[in-house]
Amino acid sequence: MKQTMKVRTLEPPVDFSRLLPLLRVLMSPREVPRMIAEDSDEARLSAIHGSYSPDADVVRVLEMNETATSVSAADTIAGFTRYKQLPGPDETGRSVVHLMDIVVIPSFQGKGLGRLLMNDAIARSRESGFDVLMSRTFLDNDASITLHRSTGFSIAFTRDESIIWRMEFVKTSPHDC
């Protein structure tokens, strides 16, 4: 059987319980002190719901299946991204979207799926007319640092245990052609 992949948007309100295996990776025991108060699925769901805004957040999932049929309940969600439009323009008047989460289940890591999700987030942000895509990684997340650098992000600044990344989109008008 052929394995197929599909990246799609989850319509609000998002049922984050479907993403618990990914939330366990995102908020792993190593990350718990930095992200949530306790190492439990309830705390993970509470944290993600607490930062989720159905009007501003876009959640995209990478689904894998063993057939070429449409998405079914048997599909495996191998990864997801969540990004949020920030309210109002930044200090330079530019519209900003923030990549809140990007995660791939460990058994699917090392196969380019994080890059696929990142490129999808970049393309959709650009197509939606945003001027800037921002993201954050912890200083000790080497894989994420490598991914951000290799996809064109630059370091905006570092703060505490984090790197804040920035990617600016160049808009062209028909007169520029």
Residue 29 has pLDDT above 80, yes or no: no
Q: Quick one: which of 18, 17, 119, 15 has its CA closest to 75?
A: 18
pLDDT given at position 174: 56
pLDDT given at position 176: 41
Band (101; pLDDT cuts 50, 70, 90): very high
User: Token pair for residue 82?
Assistant: 């969540």
More confident residue, 71 or 33: 33
**Would you list the domain boundaries of the chain?**
4-176
134-175 pLDDT per residue, tens: 999 999 999 999 999 999 999 999 998 899 999 999 876 655
pLDDT given at position 44: 87
User: Token pair for residue 149?
Assistant: 């650098």
Q: Are 3 and 75 in contact (CB under 8 A)?
A: no
Helix-helix angle 142-150:113-127, to 10 degrees = 50
Residue 100 has pLDDT above 90, yes or no: yes
Residue 74 has pLDDT above 80, yes or no: no
Residue 73 has pLDDT above 70, yes or no: no
Given phi > 0 = left and psi -120 to 50 = alpha, else beta, which region is 152?
left
Domain 4-176: give its CATH code: 3.40.630.30
Band (72; pLDDT cuts 50, 70, 90): very low
Band (68; pLDDT cuts 50, 70, 90): very low
